[in-house]
Amino acid sequence: MLFKSSAVIAASLATVVSAHQNFHQFWVDGVSPGYQVAIRMPPSNSPVTNVSSDDIACNVNGQNVPSGVSTATAAAGANFTVQWDSSSHPGPIQHFLFGPVTNASLATGVGSWVKIDEWDETNGTFASNIMEANGMTYSFNLPTNIANGDYLLRSEMLALHGSQTLGGGQFYIGCAQITITGGVDGESCSPDIQLPGSYNESDPSIYIPDFYNGFNITTYTGPGGAVATCGTGSGSSSSPATATAAATTAVATTAVSTSSAAVAAVAASSSSSVATSVTIPTTSGGVQVSTSASVVPTTLQTVAATSTSAVAASSSAAAADDTCDA
């Protein structure tokens, strides 16, 4: 009996650890600076749950400067692809910019941010669960009308499986250091938010008492307000779009993995924000192991949206069984 209990505990711990996640790599117009290059990696893959902490900006130790992290270059309007660890947790993915600053490695990230991208759900399935079903890779565009300079790019995945209790929202955060070129000097984006400061644990996007009992996912909007408009011209390339009648899903024919298992990637258009096509990062061998070599993703063909009912059902079951806590 003791043996069985120990086995159950060990299995539960393994599930908890595997459900945690980090942002490990990105691609700019199909080229990556390398695995965990130009990203402020936290000391663990555990979530941030205290929204009043400086950790909410760039994760644990993310505000420490100089960061010791290199800075990658990206053109204004470039396609930006992120890849996260696999996780069954339901929730949105969002992206924010901090800057421009003189030197990204000296920016704490504590202060004013602008949201440039948001994907909450598509056809009743959370963004994270669609990513999970297809490889945890997601693409969006940087704003076109934006000032040149150094920035922190913040990728945020909010896990809502514990959102029925105050403080139960789990924020997984990674900050990349980038230099944006080809923009328009003097342009700015608005509105902005403060991190910490603009998130509150009781916000309806973070605290959802009826999450497992009548919650309507199609009404959900992520924390941090609306996607910003940048510049005085046509606005941000990531400004909100009209809701689409049906999602499109990009399905990969190649794979990438940060370990020995290859994964596929997908992108789906959001009903509340612009979602662009997703590309699959890969090396010639199909597995990314380099920490410095550039990687060119393979362009995906857009196909009819796959049914999300099975994904939603499996994700709900996984969330209900998950005991992952901060």
Q: pLDDT tens digits, residue range 9-37? A: 333 333 444 579 999 999 999 999 999 99
Q: What is the pLDDT of residues 155-172, one digit of tens each?
A: 999 999 999 999 999 999
**Res 177: pLDDT:** 98
The candidate with the shortest Cα–Cα distance to 157, out of 187, 132, 189, 180, is 132
Q: What is the pLDDT of residues 106-156, one digit of tens each?
A: 999 999 999 999 999 999 999 999 998 878 999 999 999 999 999 999 999
> 103, 208 in Cβ contact below 8 A?
no
- Decide: helix, strand or coil at residue 7: helix
Domain boundaries, the chain: 20-315
Averaged confidence pLDDT in the chain:
76
Cβ within 8 Å of residue 79, ≥6 positions away: 28, 29, 30, 139, 140, 141, 276, 277, 279
**Res 19: pLDDT:** 76
Cis peptide before 281 (omega within 30 of 0): no
Q: What is the pLDDT of residues 181-207, one digit of tens each?
A: 999 999 999 999 999 999 999 999 999
Q: Which CATH topology does 20-315 take?
A: Coagulation Factor XIII; Chain A, domain 1 (2.70.50)
Cβ within 8 Å of residue 55, ≥6 positions away: 48, 62, 63, 173
Tell me the average pLDDT across 273-278: 38
In 121-192, the DSSP E strands lie at 121-122, 125-126, 137-141, 149-159, 170-181, 189-190
Q: Cα Rg for the chain, rounded, in angstroms?
A: 19
Say what the pTM is: 0.72
Strand partners, 119: 93
- Decide: helix, strand or coil at residue 176: strand
